[in-house]
Amino acid sequence: MQHFRTVNGEPPNGAIPPGTAFYPVATPVEPAAPVVSAPPSYCVHTCCTHLGPRLFLPQQAQPAPQPAAARWTAPGASLLGNPAPSFDGVDYLYPQDHTLFHVIWDRHMKMDTPIAGPAFEAKLFPSGLTVKDLVQRLGAPDTDDSKYGVMEVHEKGDGMWTAGQTILLSSDYAKKTLREIGWDEKRGFSTKPVWIKVHTEA
């Protein structure tokens, strides 16, 4: 029987007889261990984009929401049961104390002539306002001119009136508050209102 040899002297085909099927044996592969990702060192929240991202530790508990602060009831939000006005979302708060005035606009009113019922307007002014501010709120110009002021008048009865103190813008009394000259928060509430007559020589 003739035997074949390769040039290296080895039997051909690894000495496997012809016609024998050859099936390669796969090398068993060990399953890879599962990859566990490390937790992130921080968590980025971008809910407030206008403020930029905010960083929170993963284990950090979010603070509990704080209860809303109790709102004060502002006493200046109403006056005698009437709500204070609001302008473009800005609420006005009334001062605490007010004085009630009955303003007589007839500057030519004569004290020695009976007047059954002089025309007047009832007005409230803050008791801490100065007399000068009061006169200017009634329409006098911003000046210290002695032409402008107010005169307090008192009703005597039977349509007769008597003149009280006259305060001109040029006097030192014009710098005092209504409360300081006796026109306090009791006037018009627990006592009689203040009757004043507009004084002007203009």
pLDDT tens sequence across 139-150: 999 989 899 999
Mean pLDDT, residues 57-64 taken together: 64
Span 72-79, average pLDDT:
85
Identify the band that residue 180 occupies on the pLDDT scale cut at 50, 70 and 90.
Answer: very high
Please tell me the predicted confidence (pLDDT) of residue 46: 45
164 or 117, which is more confident: 164
CA–CA distance, 55 with 76 (Å, rounded to integer): 44
Name the 3-class secondary structure at 2. Answer: coil
Q: What is the pLDDT of residue 113?
A: 84
Per-residue model confidence (pLDDT) at position 2: 54
CA angle (111 as vertex; 193, 182 as ends), nearest 5:
30
Model confidence, pTM: 0.63
Left if phi > 0, otherwise alpha if psi is -120 to 50, otherwise beta: which for 173?
A: alpha
- End-to-end, the C-alpha distance of the chain in Å comes to 154
pLDDT recorded at residue 199: 84
Mean pLDDT across the stretch 79-106? 92
161 close to 154: Cβ distance less than 8 angstroms: yes
Instruction: Give the residue among 197, 187, 170, 198 at the shortest CA–CA distance from 126.
Output: 187
